Amino acid sequence: MRGRLVPPTSPLSRSRSQQFDDLVLDAVEELERRWPSELTGVEFAVEDVPPELPDFDSDVLEDGRVPLARLVPVPGRGDRAPARVVLYRRPLEARALDREDLGDLVHDVVVEQVAHLLGKDPDEIDPPPT
């Protein structure tokens, strides 16, 4: 038998990929509550690893030479039009120390990409606690 021996209703029954998707959804939902009209139509996606491209634009968060996420604008619709934010699961997981750190990192990456998309400072998108 392969896999975890836990009931399907337990959070432990979810795969790492599903758990990562949950972290992304949590971060996106929080920002969509703050910026509902600005994020209408923006797609958020998760891929395991970045594609092998010779060069990335400046809209890519990088940790060394490995991209963590990418903002893909919709062609021909202007810079302020809805776009697609892609997070790369494996590089983010490799960079995080534990699950809590991964949640914080995913949140920071989503905020950074939304800030770039909207042309705002990340602290304006998600103000630090006072």
**What is the reported pLDDT for 69?**
92
Positions in the chain short of pLDDT 50: 58
**What is the reported pLDDT for 52?**
76
Nearest to 93 by CA among 39, 15, 38, 40: 15
**What is the reported pLDDT for 8?**
61
| 57: Cβ contacts below 8 Å, ≥ 6 apart | 70
Global pTM reads 0.81
The structural domains of the chain, ordered by start, are 15-124 (3.30.2010.20)
